[in-house]
Amino acid sequence: MSSEPLLRMRGIDKDFAGVPALSGVDMTVAPGEVRALIGQNGAGKSTLIKVLTGVHRRTGGRIRFAGRDVDFGSPQEAQRAGIAPIYQEVNLIPYRSVAENVCIGRAPRRFGLLDWRAVNAEARERLAALGVHVDVTRPLHTYPIATQQMTAIARALAFDARLVIMDEPTSSLAEHEVGILLDVIRRLRDAGVAVVFVSHRLDELYAVADTITVLRDGRTVADAPIAELSKYELVSAMLGRELAESGRRGHRTDAAAEPVVLEASGLRRPPALNGSSVSVRRGEVVGLAGLLGSGRSETARAIFGADPPRGGEVRVAGEPAAFAAPRDAIRARIGFCPEDRKAEGIIPELSVRENLTLALLPRLTRRGIVDRARQREIVARFVDRLGIKLAGPDQKIGELSGGNQQKVLLARWLCTRPDLLILDEPTRGIDVGAKQEIRDLIGELADDGLSVLLISSEIEELVTGCDRVLVLRDGATVAEFSGAGISEDAILHAMAEGVSAGVRTEGGTDD
Amino acid sequence: MSATLGLLPARPGRFAAAVKRQGALIALAVLVIFGTLRYGERFATGYNVQSVLADDAKYALVALGMSFVIMTGGIDLSVGSVAALGGVVAASLSGAGLLPAMAAAVAVGAAAGLVNGVLIARYRLAPFLVTLATMLSVRGLALHLSGAASVLAAPHGTFTAFGTWSLLGVPVPFWIALALFGAGALALHRTGFGRNVLATGGNEDAARLMGLPVDRTKAAVYVLSGALSGAAGAFLGAQTSSVDTAAGQGWELSAIAAVVVGGTLLTGGVGTVFGTLVGVVLLQLIFNMIVFENSRGELTISSYWESVIRGAFLLGVVLLQVRLTRRRRAG
Amino acid sequence: MTDLTVGRSPEPAAPARARREWYGIAGRYGAGLLLLVLFAYNAAFTPNFLTPTALLDVQLRQAAPVTIVALGMALVIALAGIDLSVGSVMAVAGQVGALSLVAGLDPVPAIVLALLASAACGAFNGVLVARYGVQPIIATLILFIAGRGIAQLLSDGALISFRSPDFQFLGLGRIAGIPMPVVLMVLVAAALWFVVRHTGYGRTLPATGGNEPAARLAGVRTGRVKLVAYVTCGVLAGLAGLAAIAITSASDANNVGLGVELQAIAAVAISGTPLSGGRITVGGTFVGAVTLVLLRNTLVAHGIPTEIAQIVTGLVIVLALFLQRRGR
C-alpha cells in the first residue's frame, strides 16, 4: 500500500516571454526520499526549483504538495507550506548571530521581549541534532560556508520544513565538510524529511541519493532509482548524444610542429582549481571539457589575469607571464569571452558599436580621441562578417537577441586580432543557426592561425571542432585526447569516471 | 558525529575585534582624561559638563533616528530640516505649555518621516534622493511657517523652563535623550522590530524571503527618524528660546558622522545604539576642548579646527573599517 | 549563482510597456520640457525677461557656478558615485586663489595654484573610493566636513578682499558681450561633451559605471577611470569657486559654495541620469542645472517667497525620480 508522495509535479511548463524553459517536466518525491536533480546550465533545473519554491509561477502543469494542489505566488507562501530552499549563496543575514538566523521570525519571547537565552538554547539544540556544535552567539559570517549552510538547514527544520531543496550546496565546501553535509542529509531522510539535491558532483549524488531526475533542454530525460543508472549513462543523458559525423575538423597532424602559444601548468586557486594544466599551439583549437564545477572557467580566468592563480605557472610564447589584470593579457594578445554575458560581457546601456570596440579602445584612439571613422569601419566589417542582426550600430546592445549579443562579444575580441582567444561557452543560449555560424567561424579563424581555447559543455561541439580535448575534473586535468582519439565516448567516460592525471591518448580509443 | 565545523578564530583575534568595536568609547575616554588633566576642574565638572550634555541632547536624538535608518541600509538627509520644522512648530505653540508644544513637534516630524517612508519603502525610490528632496521642501515649509524670520518662544512657561531643568546635575534634556537611547537599544536588541531593522539592512532579499515585514520596517524607521528630529528641534527652541531660519543646517551630516564614528556600518545591518551616543558626545567634545584650549592662552586653536579634526576622525574610522572588511573578505 | 529577483514583475503586456516608455521619455526629457515651459511663461509674464541683460546677466550668470559643479558631479554619478565635498572644495579654491593674489602673485599662477588645490581634494576622494573601496558618500563626507574648516583656517574665517582687475575679469568681464562666468560654463560643458563623446576616456566612463566587471575584463583600467573622474569633479568645483570670488572680489570661506552639492545632485537627478551609474548626459545636466535656477528665479520674481520655491524644487525632484522609476 503506497502512500501518496509528498510532492508530485506533473507536466510542468514554464515560458519566459514565449520562450519555453520547461516543457512537460515531471518530478515526484516521497517523504524521506533523497532525490537528485541534475542537468547542465540551461537545462531548466534552476527554473524548476524556482517554480517549486514560489519564485516563478508556472505556465502549465500541476503541483501537488502534502496532499493539496498548490500554486505558490511567493517564496514566503512556499516556505509556509513547508518547502525550504537552501541556496548556494546562503540567504541568511550575515551579520546576525547563528542563533538569530535559525530563529528569526518565530523567536521565543518573554514579556514581549526576545528571550535570548531561549533563542540560543533552541538554536544550539537544533544544530546539535544535525551533529553540529558551534558557538551560536557569533555572527554568521565569521563561520565558513559549511556552517552557514547547516544554519540554513536548521532554520528550515525549525520552520517545519517537509521538503528541503539544496541547490549545489557542496560547490564551496572542502572535502571533509562535504562528508558532514551528506551525513546531515541522511539524518533528514531518517527523520522523514524529503530532500531534493542539485549537484554536479557525481560521487556525492551516488553516495547519498535514492533517486535521480535528469533534465535536458527543459524536459525530463531520465527518472530512475540511482542504483539503476551508471555514471556513464547519467552523463550521456545529461549531455545528449547528437553525434554529427559530418563536419569534423580535419585533424591537424602537423600541429605538433607549430610553436606553443600558451602553456599553463599546475594552476591552483582553492577551492576551484587544483592543478589544472592547459597548452595550446598556434592555429590549434583546444577544447576544455568537464562538468560544472570542474574548474574550466576558473582555469580560463586564471590564465587571463581576471582571477590570478595562487600557484602554478603560465607561459605565453615560451616566456613566463603572470597577468595581474585582464589589461596585461590583452596586451599580450590574448582575448577572453566570459561565460556569463549578462554579468560580465555586455554593457547593456551602451550601443553595439561601443560594446564591440571596447577592448580595442587603446588602439583606436589617437592622442586620446577616438577615431570614429575607423571605429565605424570596424563595426561594419564585423557586423557583416558575423552576420549580426541589428537595427543600426547605435542600437543598445541590451535590445539584441542572445545570439547577436554573443556575436558582438566575439567581435569585441576578434577585432583586437589576438594570437590566442579563450572562449567560455560561446554558443550557450543561442539558437541553432547562430550556433553553427559561430562554430564555423572558429574553425576558419584557426585555419588562419588563431589559437583557440574552447570551453564547452556540448560534447558534440568539442568533438567536431577541436584538434585536442582536455578533460577537467575537480579542478585538475585528468585526460587529454587528440586526433582520432577524440570521441564522445572517451570524453564522457573521462568526465564521468575520471582518468588518472597525465593519461594522454593519441589515435585509437583508450582502453 | 560531532562536527567542529567552523574554525573559531584564535582568542587574540576576538580581543582585537572587541577593542576595535569600542574604539570610539576608548577615544572618548582618552579625550576626557586628557581634558581633565589639562584643563582642570572647570572642564570636568559642573557648568561645563552641564552645558556640553545639554547641547548634545538634541544632536543625540537626531543621531538616534539616523542610526536606525542607516541600519536598514538607508539614509535620511532631511533630519536637519525636520528639526527646524519641529522647532518652529514648538516655539510657535510654546505658549500652550511644554507638552503640547513637544507633542506637536513630534507629530509634525513623524508626518514628514512618513512621507519619506512611503516614498522609499512603498515606491522604492532611492533614499538619498528622496530625503534630499524632502530636505529642501521641509525647510521651505519651515521658513514659510515662520515667515522667514526667527520664531521666539514664549518667554515664561514650562517650555523655556524645560531648557534649564536639571536633575542630579545633569540637564533633563540629556536624561530624556539617555532614556530614549536606552529604549532604542532595548528595541534593537530585544524586539522583533529591532531585529527586523538589522535583518533588512543585512540582506534585504533574504529578509523578505524569510517572511519579515521589510517594507513596514523601512517606513517605520523613517517615521522614527522624523519624530526624533522634530523633538530635537523642540529641544533647540526650548534651550535657546528661539528658532532661527538656519536652525538644523548641517545636522544631517553631523549625525551621519556620529553614527559612522560610533561603529555602525553605512551599508547597514550592523550597528550599535550606544556607539552612536558615544560618537555624538565625542564629536561635540572636540569643539568643547578647543574652546578650553583657547582659554589657556598658550595656543590659539580657532574653532575651524573643529571641522578639520572631525573630518580626520571620520577618515580614521573609515580606514579602520576598510581594514576590517578587507580582513573579513580575505578570511 | 542563484538569482532571486523577488518582486520583479515578468514581461508586461503591450499597453503597460508603452506606458513605461512614455514615463521613460518624460524622465529623460522632462527637465528640458520644464525649461521650455518656464521660458515661455517668463517670456509672457515676466517684464524684461527676454532682454539680453536679464537672460545673460541674471539667469545664466547665476546658474554658472552650480552648472559647472553639476557637470563635474555628473561624471562621478555616472560611476555610481557621488561627491559631497564640492562646496567645500569651492571654498578652498576661493581661499587659495585670494591668498595668492594678496601675496602678490599674478592671476594666472594664482588660478593654477587654486586649481591644483582642488585637484588634490579630488584626488583625496578618488583614492579613497578607487583604491580603498570606501563608499563615495562617506569618502566625500570627510572633505565636506574638513574641507570647509581648512578653507576657513586659511584666513581664520576672515573675509579676504583683493584687488586684481585681471583676475576680476573672470567674474565681471565679458567676451562678445557675454559674461565671463557664462562663457566658462559653456566652455566647460562643450569640453566635457567632447571628452564624453569623442575620447577613449569618455567611453570608458559609462562602461565602468554600467558594468564594472565587464569593463575590467575588456581591459579598462577601472581604478584609473574613477580617480580621474573625482579629480575632474574637484577641479571643476575649484573653477566654480574661482568664478564666485571673482564676482565679489572677495573670498568668504564661510559662505562660498554653501549648499551647492545638493543643487548639483538635484540637477543631475532631474536630467534623467540614474544614481546607479552607467549613463551620462552633459547636455541634460546643463539643462537640469539651468532649469532649477530658472525655476527658483521664476517663482521669486512672481512674488513667491523663497521658502515656497524650495518646496516646489523638492517636489520637482521627487516627480523626476518617480518618472525615472516608472520608466525603468
Contacts of residue A236, defined as CB under 8 A and 6 or more positions apart, other chains included, come to A492
What are the helix (H) ranges across chain B?
11-21, 23-39, 41-44, 46-71, 79-92, 98-117, 127-145, 158-162, 172-190, 192-202, 204-209, 214-240, 251-261, 273-296, 304-330
Residue in chain A closest to C219 (alpha carbons) equals A327
In our burial notation (b when 16+ CB lie closer than 10 A, e otherwise), range C45-70 reads: eeeebeeeebbbbbbbbbbbbbbbbb
Between positions 140 and 159 of A, the ones with CB within 8 A of B are 141-144, 146-147, 150
DSSP B120: I
Long-range contacts of C322-326 (CB under 8 A, 24+ apart): C322/B123, C322/B125, C323/C23, C323/C24, C323/C26, C323/C27, C323/C30, C324/C27, C324/C272, C324/C274, C325/B123, C325/B124, C325/B125, C326/C19, C326/C20, C326/C23, C326/C27
Q: Which residues lie closer than 8 Å to A412 by C-beta, 6 or more apart?
A: A335, A337, A355, A356, A357, A358, A359, A360, C218
End-to-end, the C-alpha distance of chain A in Å comes to 47
pLDDT of B12 reads 40
Interface of C with A (CB under 8 A): 1-2, 4, 6, 10-11, 198-201, 203-204, 206-207, 210-211, 213-221, 278-279
> Does a cis peptide bond (omega within 30 degrees of 0) precede residue A309?
no
> Treating both helix axes as pointing N-terminal to C-terminal, what angle do C136-153 and B304-330 enclose, rounded to 10 degrees?
150
Q: Do B191 and A113 touch (CB under 8 A)?
A: yes
Amino acid type, C264:
A
Average pLDDT over residues C71-82: 95
Between C22 and C32, the more confident residue is C32
φ and ψ of A63, to 5 deg: -125, 130
Q: Is the pLDDT of residue B19 over 70?
A: no
Sheet of A260-269: strand order equals A273-281, A260-269, A311-316, A319-320
Name the residue with cell 515662520.
B146
Alpha helices in A140-191 (DSSP H): 145-158, 175-190
**Chain B partners within 8 Å of C66 (Cβ):** none
Q: What is the pLDDT of residue C12?
A: 47
The confidence score (pLDDT) of residue A109 equals 67
pLDDT given at position A470: 94
pLDDT in tens, A162-185: 999 998 888 767 777 888 889 899
What is the DSSP annotation of B158-179? HHHHHTT-EETTEEHHHHHHHH
Q: Which of A418, A417, A438, A419 has its CA nearest to residue A427? A: A438
Of A104, A147, A183, the CB nearest to B210: A104
CA distance B133 to chain A (A): 27
Residue C17: the pLDDT is: 65
Q: How far apart are the first and last CA of chain C?
A: 24
Considering only CB atoms, B140 lies closest to which of C145, C147, C309, namely: C309
Place of cell 519603502: B121
User: Tens digits of per-residue pLDDT, B146-161?
Assistant: 888 888 888 888 888 8
Model confidence at B66: pLDDT above 70: yes
On whether the CB atoms of residues A330 and C215 are closer than 8 A, the answer is no
Directed axis angle between helix A145-158 and helix A116-129, to 10°? 100
Q: Which of A91, A145, A358 to mutate to test the interface with C (most CBs of C within 10 A)?
A: A358
What percent of chain C stands above pLDDT 90?
A: 51
Residue A62, SS3 per DSSP: strand
Query: What's the DSSP call for residue C128?
Result: I
Under a CB-based contact definition with an 8 Å cutoff, are residues C161 and C258 in contact?
no
Residue to test with chain C: of B136, B254, B306, most C Cβ within 10 A: B136
Global pTM reads: 0.81
Domains contained in chain B, CATH given:
58-330 (1.10.3470)
Q: Tell me whether residues B312 and C153 touch, CB distance under 8 A.
A: no
Q: In terms of pLDDT, which residue wins out, C83 or A256?
A: C83
The residues facing A86 across adjacent strands are A166
Neighboring chains of C (3 or more beta-carbon pairs < 8 A): A, B
Which pLDDT score, from 0 to 100, does residue A251 have? 52
Query: In angstroms, what separates the C-alpha of C327 from chain A's closest C-alpha?
Result: 14
Looking at the complex, report in whole angstroms how far the Cα of residue A22 sits from the nearest Cα belonging to chain C: 16
- Among the listed residues A97, A93, A76, the one whose alpha carbon sits nearest the alpha carbon of residue A85: A76
Question: Does residue A488 or residue B138 have the better pLDDT?
Answer: B138
- DSSP code per residue over B23-52: HHHHHHHHHHHHHHHHH-HHHHSHHHHHHH
Residue A334 pLDDT: 95
Beta strands A34-38; A194-198: pairing state: parallel
Q: Which grid cell sits at B18? A: 572587541
pLDDT of residue A413: 95
Give the lowest-confidence range in A120-129, B151-160, B181-190, C103-112. Answer: B151-160
The Cα A346–Cα B306 span in angstroms is: 48
Q: How far is CA A314 from CA A300, A309, A476, A478, A481, in A?
A: 11, 9, 15, 19, 21
Is the Cβ pair C200, A368 closer than 8 Å?
yes
**Residue A18 one-letter amino acid:** G
Q: Which residue has the cell 503586456?
A: C13
C7 neighbourhood in chain B, CB within 8 Å: 208
Instruction: Give the CB-side neighbour count of residue B309, counting CA atoms within 13 A.
Output: 16
Out of B5, B190, B328, the one facing A132 most closely (by C-beta) is B5
Of A202, A263, A186, the closest CA to residue A234 belongs to A202
Q: Do A344 and C10 touch (CB under 8 A)?
A: no
CA distance A106 to A22: 36
Contacts of C198 in chain A (CB under 8 A): 369-370, 372
Helix boundaries (H) for A316-394: 326-331, 341-344, 352-357, 361-364, 372-386
Predicted local confidence at residue C314, as pLDDT: 83
- Asked if the Cβ–Cβ distance from B140 to C311 is below 8 Å, we say yes
The interface predicted TM-score (ipTM) is: 0.82
**Which residues, in sequence order, are bridge partners of residue B166?**
B171
* Spatial separation of the C-alpha atoms in residues C110 and C167, rounded to whole Å: 9
Cα separation, A495 vs A479, whole angstroms: 9
Question: What's the gap in Å between the CA of B58 and the closest CA on chain C?
Answer: 20
Indicate the residue type of A388.
I
Residue A355: which of A325, A391, A395, A384 has the closest Cα? A395
Taken in order of first residue, the domains within chain C and their CATH numbers are 50-323 (1.10.3470)
Query: What residues of B are in contact with residue A134 (Cβ under 8 Å)?
Result: 4-6, 8
Residue B328 predicted with pLDDT over 70: no
Strand A260-269 vs strand A273-281: parallel, antiparallel, or unpaired? Answer: antiparallel
Please report all neighbours of A, defined by 3+ CB atom pairs within 8 A. Answer: B, C
Q: Chains with 3 or more CB pairs closer than 8 angstroms to B?
A: A, C
Among B39-53, B195-209, C77-91, which stretch is predicted with the lowest mean pLDDT? B39-53
Instruction: Residue window 150-169, chain C: list those with CB within 8 Å of chain B.
Output: 150, 152-153, 156-157
Amino acid A391: pLDDT: 83
> DSSP class of residue A21?
E
Q: What angle do CA A95, A101, A103 make, to 5 degrees?
A: 145
- b/e per residue, C5-28, with b = 16+ CB within 10 A? eeeeeeeeeeeeeeeeeebbebbb
User: Is there a contact between B211 and A105 if contact means CB atoms under 8 Å apart?
Assistant: yes
DSSP-derived 3-state class of residue A249: coil
Cross-chain Cβ contact A365/C199 below 8 Å: yes
Pairing label, strands A451-455, A285-289: parallel
**Mean pLDDT on C182-189:** 95
Query: Which residues in chain B have Cβ-Cβ distances shorter than 8 Å to A116?
Result: 190
The pLDDT tens digits for B213-249 are 899 999 999 999 999 999 999 999 998 888 988 888 8
**Other C-beta atoms within 10 Å of C193: how many?**
16
Q: Distance between CA atoms of B278 and B262, rounded to whole angstroms?
A: 6
Q: What is the DSSP string of A463-492?
A: HHH-SEEEEEETTEEEEEEEGGG--HHHHH
Helix, strand, coil content of chain A in percent (nearest 5): 35, 25, 35
Q: Which residues of chain A have pLDDT under 50?
A: 1-2, 242-247, 499-511
